[in-house]
Amino acid sequence: MKMAIRVALAPLALFVIGIGLAPRASSAPINILDAIRTRGKVVCGVTDHAAGFSEVSPRGTWRGLDVEFCSALAAATLGNRDAVKFLSISAGDRFKSLQEDEVDVLVDSTTWTLTRDTDLGARFTGALYYDGQGFIIPRNHSIASVLELSGASICVLADSSDEAAVADYFGTRKMRYQRVQSERWDDLVKTYSAGGCTVLTGDMSLLAYEKSRLSNGADHMLLPEMISKEPYGPAVRLGDDAWFAIVRWTGMALIAAEELNITSDNIDSMKSSPSHEVRRFLGLDADFGAPLGLSRDWVYQVIKQVGNYGEIFERTLGQSSPLKLDRGLNALWTKGGLMYAMPFR
């Protein structure tokens, strides 16, 4: 999630590069797929406190959208969704963990930006979730749009990208507002819940989580607009194009399965489908595993064991989860969203 520490990532990256932890051009390339097969597990770098994305229970059970993507990678490469080792990493160490081969893939709700995709020895494989900065407000204010917030008091993290986005959005529209600041997110939530500000701003997924924790959560609502773009996606270490392709196309397979109405429940019956597109996708009339170094039935294993993107979203972030987020931008492109799989052909 986008807390104050995330704002410090850019200068931290420059510092890291300056002290010699930048990508090691002289290091020998590592075949990550071979390493995964030798070890028998995919090592997935995550955070342990991102509700809906990656969190761990006191008993050590992991759950969330990012966690399930890691399970999909394990099903694709090893045929077993449980063949995953989750490594909890801090925001400051996330890209270092890739550079030093501590993790095979970074999936920790990290926003895909130009500098992170070019300066830190990492490559993002695609967007797994489209988030953005939004606002939560008590329903009794009878406000339905951010454009109605002129004159409002806004709880926002001090010296953060959230604060900069609010200043830019309200400033360009000549809307007045009062900042209520804190350097701690938990303190801002307490201020908002006590009525110390009109609205609280942060990533929509984070606001949905806080709404689910409020004793009177039903009395609060998320405003529909987002004032920033925060696309989250998996990142891999620069230099292994084959592994990059596997991670990218595993994400595409989750979306394509939903486009084709293939679910974990009906996938076996879909093997008898007359659709050539479906049969190619499932590895019956074509072998899409061979170019990736995977088995012919890798897509079948992913969807059978984990499900399609819609199934995963529903149980981790959607209406079957505590967050109860609408699909929004994360709906399929055929339903007004941005989720779109490149063709399997």
Residues 218 and 240 in one domain: no
Residues 19 and 120 in one domain: yes
* Average pLDDT value for residue range 40-66: 93
Q: What is the pTM of this model?
A: 0.86
Asked which of 162, 197, 228 is the last residue of a domain, the reply is 228
* 342 part of a folded domain: no
Residues 66 and 180 in one domain: no
For residue 15, name the pLDDT band (cuts at 50, 70, 90).
very low
Tokens 């045929």 — which residue?
79
Phi, psi of 78 (to 5 degrees): -120, -5
Asked which of 197, 228, 259 is the last residue of a domain, the reply is 228
Residues 101 and 154 in one domain: no
Asked which of 182, 208, 228 is the last residue of a domain, the reply is 228
CATH number of the domain at 319, please.
3.40.190.10
* 343 part of a folded domain: no
Contacts of 64 (CB under 8 A, 6+ apart): 50, 51, 52, 53, 54, 55, 316
CA dist 296 and 283 (Å) reads 6
pLDDT in tens, 172-201: 999 999 999 999 999 999 999 999 999 999
* 89 part of a folded domain: yes
Describe the chain by its helix, strand, coil percentages, rounded to 5: 40, 15, 40
Please say if the pLDDT value at position 141 is more than 90.
Answer: yes
* 177 part of a folded domain: yes
Count of domains observed in the chain: 2
Show the domain range for 99.
4-130+231-335
Q: Is 136 exposed, middle or buried (0-12, 13-18, 19+ CB in 10 A)?
A: buried
Question: Other C-beta atoms within 10 Å of 247: how many?
Answer: 28
CA dist 166 and 283 (Å) reads 48
Burial 213-244 (b: 16+ CB within 10 A, else e): eeeeeeebbbbeebbbebbbbbbbbbbbeebb
**What pLDDT, on a 0 to 100 scale, did the predictor assign at position 211?**
95
Residues 124 and 146 in one domain: no
Q: Is-contact 95 16, C-beta < 8 A? A: yes
CA dist 168 and 211 (Å) reads 26
- DSSP three-state, residue 31: coil
Q: Is 128 exposed, middle or buried (0-12, 13-18, 19+ CB in 10 A)?
A: buried
* Average pLDDT value for residue range 299-303: 98
Residues 126 and 215 in one domain: no
Q: Is-contact 133 169, C-beta < 8 A? A: no
* 340 part of a folded domain: no
Average pLDDT over the chain reads 91
pLDDT in tens, 203-220: 999 999 999 999 899 999
Helix (H) or strand (E) holding 177: strand 177-182
- Say how many residues make up the chain: 345
DSSP for 91-115, written as a single string: GGGHHHHHHTTS-SEE-SS-B--HH
* 272 part of a folded domain: yes
The Cβ-side half-sphere exposure at 164, using a 13 Å CA radius, reads 6
CA dist 315 and 299 (Å) reads 21
Residues 164 and 274 in one domain: no
**What pLDDT, on a 0 to 100 scale, did the predictor assign at position 92?**
83
pLDDT in tens, 249-265: 999 999 999 999 999 99
CA dist 113 and 118 (Å) reads 9
CA dist 211 and 205 (Å) reads 10
CA dist 313 and 53 (Å) reads 10
Residues 286 and 174 in one domain: no
- DSSP three-state, residue 192: helix
For residue 90, name the pLDDT band (cuts at 50, 70, 90).
confident
* 156 part of a folded domain: yes
Please say if the pLDDT value at position 18 is more than 80.
Answer: no
Residues 245 and 104 in one domain: yes
Please say if the pLDDT value at position 25 is more than 90.
Answer: no
Residues 163 and 279 in one domain: no
* 164 part of a folded domain: yes
Residues 112 and 149 in one domain: no
Residues 16 and 62 in one domain: yes
